[in-house]
Structure 1
Amino acid sequence: MTEAPPYPQKRTCPYAPPPGYKEIGDRGPVLKVTLFDGREAWMVTGYQESREILTHPNLSSQRTHPDFPIVAPRFRSQIARSLALIAMDPPEHDVYRRYLNPHFSLKQVRRMRPEIEAIVSGHVDRIIEHGPPADLVPLLAVPLPSLVICRHLGVPYEDHDFFQDASGKVMLGTEEESGTAAQDLVDYIDRLVTAQIKEPTEGLLATLVRERVIPGDIGHEELVSIALVLLIAAHETTSSSLALGIITLLEHPRELARLHEDITRLPGAIEELLRFIATTDLVATRVAKGDIEIAGHHIRAGEGVLVSGTLANRDDAVHQRADDFDILRDDTHHVTFGFGIHQCLGQNLARLELEVALHELLTRIPGMRLAVGMDELPILGAGTVQRVLELPVEW
């Protein structure tokens, strides 16, 4: 292997890390990797080291920093480098989180359960009516998180085809596609915010207009940026996690049988799925704003830092049989949602959507199985969100 191995690398299995990551993990917990543009950045692969560095005061999320590590051409756009929350440091970041946390709290998300259960039930009705083979990507994995976040934000669901397509291009398109799609989304959300300012209706956007924009706490453009992040993050990651989670269960019949024996094991199974599949390969892309000492390495101010959730979640130092999928394991702890102040705002909502969807599928279609070989499933993504484009099942 080269002194600084290439990153990212493409997966050959929907739920497993790229083959080359094994050597990267073995050389961790901290090492240098080479990005697409030839620049080098530090990568943290150890579980404990990931938690340590994600709370270090000298780690910055400021993507406008000239030395911020860009892991793919599509993330070079001005919009990608100035996103609310994601590209912010304290104290500004803390203010935004304080505004948003109550709307994604566990208490608030639990209130959404009946609505999410009704949405999922309706989609599974249509899957059964469709009959086998049925592609679970367009029939469930894509529309479920889209509909949920649309209702939560107050975004018209009739526009979901547009923002599903646009958000996919932002995360996985070429540099030109990503930049154009991001601007299209900004323009779309800008019109929504303008309408809400004129006449607030229902949903989180309207609430933030009343509580934060009109009093002057945040500006119009800031709310547009916040909504952009929420719309993309809530759709892309949950959609991919659901599809990859289904594949993982169907490809591990012993674990699937354990769930059929006792469906109350599902919450633990979801934590293991989150650890195992690592839908978002990176849980953090940062730049050092001051020197950092970690695991015997000296990271200098201005150097890029990547934190690999994929490898941290499979760290043999903290997980027994780290590469095994075991829904009964005790050590399901993971950093899939990040750690520290930037921990995923929507993690409670994501867990609930996964739980409700998997419960409905497993109890109503217990004989579900892949309709094609796993090697025939088209997968897309390297270094950001892993996505399966089709998921045909039969029963």
Structure 2
Amino acid sequence: MLGLADARTRMTRRLVARATGGGPVDLSTLEAVPRRLLRPLRRTELDPVPRLGRTAPEPVHRLAHMFGMNIWLVSGHAEAKAVLADQASFSNDIRPYVGLAGSRVGGLGFTDPPEHTRLRSLLTPEFTMRRIERLTPWVEAIVDAQLDAMAADGPVVDLVERFAFPVPFLVICELLGLPVEDRERFRALSHARFDVTSGGSAAFGAISESQEFLLEATRRQRREPGDGLLGRVIAALGDDVSDEEIAGLADGVFTGGYETTASMLALGSLVLLRDRRHFDLVRDDDGAIDRVVEEMLRYLTVVQIAFPRFAKVDVDLFGHRIAKGDVVIAALSRADRDSRVGPDLDTFDPHRPPSPHLAFGHGFHRCVGAELARLELRTAFPRLVRRFPELALAVEPADLRFRDQSIVYAVDSLPVHLGRSSGTSRAS
């Protein structure tokens, strides 16, 4: 899930280079993304807009022909799964197209096998179900501490600032083993990388700074390994893994597990506040949270598009000829509303049979931290509504402002009245 805005801007500069007949260029200097390419990010509050301009929402259709090549949008569920799983026909590696800046692009999302396979194997042991389950008391303590802080700051607080962002931020910092004194410096770099309003220059600047920060942290851990993920990988593999590789992986873990989970916590809280039946279900039914979280993941699909795929060969994609070098974008938020999967998927219904979703992607690039995200959501929502059973929006819904040109969809702030506190942070 990391660096999607960065990938998008680099893709556009690749097109510019082809059109002008120039050689490789540094795509990070793009000052604006063409408006046509922003269409898959548009939403009305929590819902993707039903049409992309004048283009009918076919499962596979050409979004644009720009700079001498086609850009395809895949919005059907089955079609998106097929693209995401097809490593033979499509590549995620954008580094050849970003000039000297390509050396700064790390992590799983921008690599293909066998490099991807080797890098992912470094992270997989850190995200097994056994390891995740052992984190439960620690995640609970972080959530409870934030609820205590909210109660002290009330009666009106911004749920985004005081809850949705601090919880995953602290979880990921603890997981990586980042020193407390470094955390605020890194937090300031996180938001810009997913926002495409300023083109690639701002997003790529943020990703470069964050990776430089993590490279410094990795070098310190190389000298004195801690007990976090960085230290454990270094202790286990030593010189078999480079500082740059570790920093790239850590950057992916941070951005994939911070911004996305924070958005899910904020928008998921809004879902509960919009319909008291859902709020009460989470508060009163211990057995409901798993299906509530799965339906939230599907309904919200906060990561709106997957990493761009570059066609390595000519391929027939459900009746459409995709030429070698064309770009294919899977619109995950639209695929998870595909009416062919089930009825009424534009509504949030935690009582429906679980619907398969692509909120964590699919195939060999599926989010490695999916179970950690689920743990945070399943822990946070019941504790929130039980601690503050009278929680309510403090503004009119029409006054909320959403990030409608961001790869990770989000709400800027969520002011709430806390109401009566139950007096305890513990969910029981």
TM-score between the two structures when normalised by the length of structure 2: 0.83
Task: Pick one of 3, 8, 15 that aligns with 2:46.
Answer: 15
SS in 1 for 2:258: helix
Aligned to 1:61: 92
The reply on whether 1:235 has 2:258 as its aligned counterpart is yes
CA contact (8 A) 1:287 1:304 kept: yes
Task: Pick one of 290, 294, 298 that aligns with 1:271.
Answer: 294
The reply on whether 1:209 has 2:240 as its aligned counterpart is no
Aligned to 1:336: 359
CA contact (8 A) 2:106 2:245 kept: no
Q: Using the TM superposition, give the Cα deviation of residue 12 of structure 1 relative to its aligned residue in structure 2, in angstroms.
A: 5.0
SS in 1 for 2:389: coil
**What runs of 5+ residues in structure 2 fail to find an aligned partner?**
1-34, 420-428
Q: Using the TM superposition, give the Cα deviation of residue 7 of structure 1 relative to its aligned residue in structure 2, in angstroms.
A: 3.1
The reply on whether 1:29 has 2:59 as its aligned counterpart is yes
Q: Give the partner amino acid of 1:204.
A: L
Distance, in Å, in 2 between the alignment partners of 1:252 and 1:22 is: 31
SS in 1 for 2:309: strand
Q: Using the TM superposition, give the Cα deviation of residue 182 of structure 1 relative to its aligned residue in structure 2, in angstroms.
A: 2.1
CA contact (8 A) 2:158 2:415 kept: yes
Residues 38-70 of structure 1, C-alpha deviations (whole Å, 9 max, x = no match): 96411111111111221122111011254xxxx
Aligned to 1:300: 323
Distance, in Å, in 2 between the alignment partners of 1:35 and 1:147 is: 43
Aligned to 1:69: none
Aligned to 2:80: 50
Aligned to 1:168: 191
CA contact (8 A) 2:304 2:408 kept: yes
Residues 130-166 of structure 1, C-alpha deviations (whole Å, 9 max, x = no match): 2221111111111111111111111123322221220
Alpha-carbon distance change, 28 to 109 in structure 1, aligned in 2, over 3 angstroms: same
Distance, in Å, in 1 between the alignment partners of 2:359 and 2:100 is: 25
Residues 295-331 of structure 1, C-alpha deviations (whole Å, 9 max, x = no match): 2112121110101111110000012111111011114
User: How many residue pairs were aligned?
Assistant: 381
Task: Pick one of 120, 136, 148 that aligns with 2:171.
Answer: 148
Q: Using the TM superposition, give the Cα deviation of residue 190 of structure 1 relative to its aligned residue in structure 2, in angstroms.
A: 1.6
Greater CA deviation, 128-137 or 144-153?
128-137
Distance, in Å, in 2 between the alignment partners of 1:76 and 1:278 is: 32
Q: Using the TM superposition, give the Cα deviation of residue 23 of structure 1 relative to its aligned residue in structure 2, in angstroms.
A: 7.1
Greater CA deviation, 196-205 or 153-162?
153-162
Alpha-carbon distance change, 37 to 293 in structure 1, aligned in 2, over 3 angstroms: closer
Q: What is the correspondence of 1:105-184 to structure 2 with a 5 Å cutoff?
A: 105-172=128-195, 174=198, 175-184=200-209
CA contact (8 A) 2:263 2:410 kept: yes
Distance, in Å, in 2 between the alignment partners of 1:371 and 1:23 is: 37
Greater CA deviation, 384-393 or 12-21?
12-21
The reply on whether 1:101 has 2:124 as its aligned counterpart is yes
Greater CA deviation, 377-386 or 235-244?
377-386
Alpha-carbon distance change, 145 to 77 in structure 1, aligned in 2, over 3 angstroms: farther
Distance, in Å, in 1 between the alignment partners of 2:217 and 2:389 is: 42
The reply on whether 1:196 has 2:221 as its aligned counterpart is yes
Q: Give the partner amino acid of 2:64.
A: T
Percent identity reads 31
Greater CA deviation, 276-285 or 247-256?
247-256
CA contact (8 A) 2:305 2:333 kept: yes
Alpha-carbon distance change, 12 to 221 in structure 1, aligned in 2, over 3 angstroms: closer
The reply on whether 1:41 has 2:71 as its aligned counterpart is yes
Distance, in Å, in 2 between the alignment partners of 1:77 and 1:337 is: 30
Q: Give the partner amino acid of 1:50.
A: A
The reply on whether 1:246 has 2:269 as its aligned counterpart is yes
TM-score between the two structures when normalised by the length of structure 1: 0.90
Distance, in Å, in 2 between the alignment partners of 1:201 and 1:260 is: 38
CA contact (8 A) 2:339 2:345 kept: yes
**What runs of 5+ residues in structure 1 fail to find an aligned partner?**
67-74
Q: Give the partner amino acid of 1:15.
A: L
